[in-house]
Structure 1
Amino acid sequence: MLEITLALIVFLFPLAYSPGPGNMVFAANGARFGLRATLPANVGYHIATWVVTAGIGLGFVAALDMAPRLFAVLKIAGALYVLWLAFGLIRAGTLTSAPAPRPASFTDGAVLLILNPKAYVIIALMFTQFLGPADPLPVILLITTVFTLNNLLAFLTWTVVGDRLARRFRSPASARILNLTFGAILAGVAIWMLLA
């Protein structure tokens, strides 16, 4: 079990810490609201991660293979959701009459994972590399838990980076620039999700 865990962490490190939809959403929320305010969304995202990962490990991949349109729908829905989050950040950076922005909620975090096709691809790829056909349920649960905890650490890292960055941009003009920058990055991620 230790050997699988170490190999899995090495395999997942570049995937979890590279910029992707989830990381960018949490970096942006960390910049806008701080680490503490993003914790409910982080919990929502990672509970959903654990459930979806366990489901894929238990055979959800076969269901996606039988319904390839489901993956296409998730891809489009996920990109539109990230684009909606980006628009919220951009509005917060430019419109003084915009409603007061709020940090992402537990539900926002869960929805972000469920509509993130990159997560499904990574999870399926991970199981093809680390799960054998005869592996018992405890191995599936170990892989699921290691994957979820590794992601949680990556997201917390990105959130802290966003939070620290925001501390350097305290003036309203600087905050607008930061919101516009993160909003544009999220919009770029959404477009990449649609085209990938």
Structure 2
Amino acid sequence: MVETAIALVLFLFPLAYSPGPGNLFFAANGARFGVWATLPASLGYHLATWSVTAAIGFGFLRTLESAPVVFVMLKLAGALYVLWIASGLLRAGVQDMDAEARPASFRDGVMLLLLNPKAYVIIALMFTQFLSVPGVNRTLLVLGITTLFTLNNLLAFTVWTLMGARLGAVFARAGSARALNMGFGLILGAVAVWMLLM
């Protein structure tokens, strides 16, 4: 079981730490509002991650595969949601002058995971690789993989949030908060287009 956990972490490392909708979302929020303000969204995202991962591990994906239109709808909804987040950043003014700005909420975190078809594909791929460990109770294995996957994502997103907050502090001192918001907005917009095309 320890060998499986190590192999799983090595498998997930490039997926969890490379730029994607979740990482960039938390980096942007960390840059704009600071680390502590991202906690509700992080809690929402990772509770949703654990729930969806466990459901897929226990066979929910087989139900979805019988209705491929669901994945198409998820892809479209997810890309539109990320575009909506990007447009908010692009419209944002300087942090301290933008009265309407608010940190991402618990609901935002949940929606970001639920509307990300890439997450479903990664989770399914993970289970095809790591669910056949001889001599281990299948239920415990699914719960163990689910928990390790969620904790690994939490660590990756925390790193990205911290980097974003650090970058936000530098830009705030330089009086260039708007440029930072614009930069993250353009990057998230590109991610949304990539989600539509993948």
TM-score (norm 2): 0.94
Alpha carbons of structure 1 residues 96 and 103: separation in structure 2 relative to 1, 3 Å: closer
Q: Which runs of 4+ in 1 moved over 2 A?
A: 93-99, 132-135
Question: What corresponds to 2:186 in structure 1?
Answer: 184
Shift of 1:100: 1.6
Question: What corresponds to 1:138 in structure 2?
Answer: 140
Moved more, 66-75 or 133-142: 133-142
Partners of 1:150 and 1:118 lie apart in 2 by: 16
Question: What corresponds to 1:43 in structure 2?
Answer: 43
Instruction: Return the match for 2:149 from 147, 150, 161.
Output: 147
Question: What corresponds to 1:90 in structure 2?
Answer: 90
Moved more, 168-177 or 18-27: 168-177
- 8 Å Cα contact 1:41-1:109 kept in structure 2: yes
Query: How many residues of Structure 1 are paired with residues of Structure 2 in the alignment?
Result: 196
Partners of 2:196 and 2:95 lie apart in 1 by: 27
Alpha carbons of structure 1 residues 170 and 95: separation in structure 2 relative to 1, 3 Å: closer
The two structures, once aligned, show a CA RMSD in angstroms of 1.9
Gaps (5+ residues) in structure 1?
none
Cα deviations across residues 145-194 of structure 1 (Å, max 9, x unaligned)? Answer: 00000000000000000000011111584000000000000000001000
Instruction: Letter of the 1:158 partner, please give it.
Output: W
1:149 counterpart SS class: helix
Partners of 1:177 and 1:150 lie apart in 2 by: 31
Instruction: Letter of the 1:106 partner, please give it.
Output: F
Shift of 1:93: 3.4
1:3 is aligned to 2:3: yes
1:34 is aligned to 2:3: no
Structure 1 segment 1-196 matched on structure 2, within 5 A: 1-93=1-93, 100-132=100-132, 136-171=138-173, 173-196=175-198
- 8 Å Cα contact 2:29-2:103 kept in structure 1: yes
TM-score (norm 1): 0.95
Cα deviations across residues 26-46 of structure 1 (Å, max 9, x unaligned)? Answer: 000000000000011001000
